[in-house]
Amino acid sequence: MLTEVHTPHDLKRLNPAELATLSAEIRAFLVASVSRTGGHLGPNLGVVELTIALHRVFDSPHDSILWDTGHQAYVHKLLTGRHDFSRLRQSGGLSGYPSRAESDHDLIENSHASTALSYADGIARARQILGVRDRSVVAVVGDGALTGGMAWEALNNIASATDRPVVIVLNDNGRSYAPTVGGLARHLSSLRDHREPAAGPSPAHPGVFAQLGLHYIGPVDGHDTAAVEEALTTARALGAPVVVHCVTRKGCGYPLAESDDRDCFHGIGVIDSVTGQLIKNATAPSWTSLFGDELVQIGAERPDVVAITAAMLQPVGLQPFAEKFPDRVIDVGIAEQHAATCAAGLAAEGLHPVVAVYATFLNRAFDQVLMDVALHRAGVTFVLDRAGITGDDGPSHNGMWDMSVLHVVPGLRIAAPRDGSRLRALLREAVAVADVPTVVRFPKGSAPEDIETLEERDGVDVIGRFGSGSDLLLVAVGVMAGTCLDTARQLAGHGIGVTVVDPRWVRPVNPALLELARQHRTVATVEDNVKVSGVGAAFAQAVSDNGIDTPCLTFGIPPDFLAVASRSQLLAEVGLTAGALVTELRRLVTGSLTTQ
């Protein structure tokens, strides 16, 4: 059946038996395809019937269907004609999230949670202003995404006008990455436990949605296509804001995923689809696992250290800490803003919170880091996983903004470890700081082999000397150390003397680094961060402010949204490889030496 579905209109001619066959084929396709490429498997297996019903009731793209967070849109892609999953999340292939470049059926490309309801409110308001009456606005939001404060800001506004219809499809599977937490989870559980499914708006549910002034339909079995269709048809006819509460099972139809308590099948690498075992290409430990292991050791030594996660306990490496110290882990849900300010409160009472998030998600809490943590000189450590280019999850997941954004925060210190040993050491140094916030950032994937320190200069590690003389000081930021060493070796072959250093703490600028700059004819910084306002820019400013006339060259990521590709491909595209750096530095350094 799947090969006969190229547009949503093809669904409308299918009978119930054919729809059941289609659902089974979609699940088999997803398991077979995603196990070969990696991607989000569990969330998509859980929304098969729900997505079919959506596209049978509504007329996409005339009607707008918005996905929050978007990682559960694989079925939507299939039903809108995108059947080639062979290069999912790879260069030239399908994005792992909705993509405007792929299809008119993808109106928004959000992959940060809790945003779709605000989009929906804006679209509905615009259509009301423009007098458009024949186009529905539908937002599919998970119970996990509803733990984000922005979703409630949107609900407050959506409920403010009964004549501005928005259909909110609540995909309630009791989980985000992990089980949904907090009072909302308890409330949704009480609604799920109501034994009389409601096909129409029901006053029998005096729940939070009704109290806000929203119609409520449910609970509906999200794996019963006919029941979901009936509920959505009723919702569309209301012409008012309405919540359709669909209860689903994450990983439905794939026993390994359905029984997955730790959500290992939420986002997977390449796996054996029969056993579910990961097919590993690397044996080196990941940055995430090294962090998690060291934090457990720190926790055993320091009872004041607590950990905070925003609904991502396992992905950010906090599962071992939670198992060892269950009373010292706080899951705040998808609420990075609350995580930061809650951490400031914990610090005010003498604890040292470690807030572990993906680097891309710290953007969401900038105001709280600035005004609630830094202003109060709170001893909070933010650990940023997947910093720099991540690649396969697309532009919204690249953690390439953090050092630029955080450089304006007074007092805050940033550490960028080059290898696993430095990660362990810098994490310990960070949690030892009690009077300002600290940040430790590291990339996605396996940690490289440790790079030896040749000489330590007041906190700056000299990690390489190549050639003769002091033509170039090459400042390697974090994981770019290996690339900088390769670059220096090649430059030495062209007669350029290079010293390679790792500052370890990239903010504030270490005075020892400034002294090294005085001793060289040219300085170049290399960072896997946006070069605008990044480490290089701050260092160049410090050089200028201290009256040092050494020219400073800055290499980093351009301020752009990078396409889906692997980390190595994107680093090559932006010129952060040894070959590209050698070419550019030979031209610039040779020119500088000639003018001198």
Mean pLDDT, the chain, rounded, equals 92
Is 336 in the active site?
A: yes
Cβ(400)–Cβ(459) under 8 Å? Answer: no
Is 586 in the active site?
A: no
Of 175, 250, 328, 422, which is the active-site residue?
250
Of 109, 294, 336, 429, which is the active-site residue?
336
User: What letter does residue 393 receive in the DSSP assignment?
Assistant: T
Q: Is 66 in the same domain as 173?
A: yes
Binding site annotation covers 143? yes
Asked whether residue 278 is domain-assigned, the answer is no
DSSP string over 213-236: T-EEEEEEETT-HHHHHHHHHHHH
Q: Is 239 in the same domain as 102?
A: yes
Task: Provide mean pLDDT across the span 410-434.
Answer: 98
Binding site annotation covers 272? no
- The CA–CA distances, whole Å, from 340 to 107, 291, 335 equal 31, 19, 9
Q: Is 518 in the same domain as 432?
A: no
* Final residue before a domain boundary, out of 406, 441, 476: 441
Question: Which stretch of 105-114, 188-197, 235-244, 482-491 has the lowest confidence by average pLDDT?
Answer: 188-197
Binding site annotation covers 336? yes
Res. 203 pLDDT band, cuts 50 70 90: very low
List the CATH number of the domain containing 547.
Answer: 3.40.50.920
Tell me which range, 163-177, 241-255, 453-467, is most confidently predicted by mean pLDDT. 453-467
Interstrand relation of 267-268 and 215-221 (parallel, antiparallel or unpaired): unpaired
Task: Provide mean pLDDT across the span 482-496.
Answer: 97
Q: Is 183 in the same domain as 249?
A: yes
pTM of the model: 0.91
Asked whether residue 452 is domain-assigned, the answer is no
Binding site annotation covers 173? yes
The whole-number pLDDT of residue 262 equals 67
171: β partners: 142, 246
The whole-number pLDDT of residue 205 equals 54
Binding site annotation covers 497? no
Q: Is 303 in the same domain as 179?
A: no
Asked whether residue 178 is domain-assigned, the answer is yes
Task: Provide mean pLDDT across the span 111-124.
Answer: 92
Share of the chain above pLDDT 70, in %: 95
Q: Is 374 in the same domain as 401?
A: yes
Asked whether residue 176 is domain-assigned, the answer is yes
The whole-number pLDDT of residue 357 equals 97
Q: 3-class DSSP state for residue 499? A: strand
| 457 token code pair | 């200069």
List the CATH number of the domain containing 396.
Answer: 3.40.50.970
Q: Is 369 in the same domain as 420?
A: yes
Binding site annotation covers 144? yes
Q: Is 175 in the same domain as 293?
A: no
553: β partners: 524
Cβ(479)–Cβ(388) under 8 Å? Answer: yes
Residue at token pair 């989870």: 185
Q: Is 42 in the same domain as 123?
A: yes
Binding site annotation covers 304? no
Instruction: Report the C-alpha gap between 534 and 224 in whole angstroms.
Output: 51
The whole-number pLDDT of residue 197 equals 47
Binding site annotation covers 565? no
Of 127, 364, 418, 444, which is the active-site residue?
364
Is 280 in the active site?
A: no
Detail the DSSP E strand segments found in 305-431. 305-309, 329-331, 352-358, 381-385, 413-415
Give residue-wise pLDDT tens across range 132-152.
Answer: 999 999 999 999 899 999 999
Q: Is 44 in the same domain as 154?
A: yes
Is the pLDDT at 79 greater than 80? The verdict is: yes
Domain count, the chain: 3
Cβ(138)–Cβ(170) under 8 Å? Answer: no
Asked whether residue 519 is domain-assigned, the answer is yes
Rounded to 10 degrees, what is the CA torsion of 508, 511, 513, 519?
160
Residues, the chain: 596
Compute how many other C-beta atoms are within 10 angstroms of the C-beta atom of residue 200. 13
Which one-letter amino acid corresponds to residue 439? V
Asked whether residue 310 is domain-assigned, the answer is yes
Give residue-wise pLDDT tens across range 347-396.
Answer: 999 999 999 999 999 999 999 999 999 999 999 999 999 999 998 888 88
Binding site annotation covers 215? no
Parent domain of 206: 2-268
Q: Is 411 in the same domain as 551?
A: no
Cβ(246)–Cβ(172) under 8 Å? Answer: yes
Q: Is 258 in the same domain as 302?
A: no
Instruction: Report the C-alpha gap between 484 and 466 in whole angstroms.
Output: 11
Share of the chain above pLDDT 90, in %: 79
Task: Provide mean pLDDT across the span 99-128.
Answer: 92
* Final residue before a domain boundary, out of 416, 441, 466: 441
The phi and psi torsions of 426 (rounded to 5 degrees) equal -70, -30
Asked whether residue 446 is domain-assigned, the answer is no
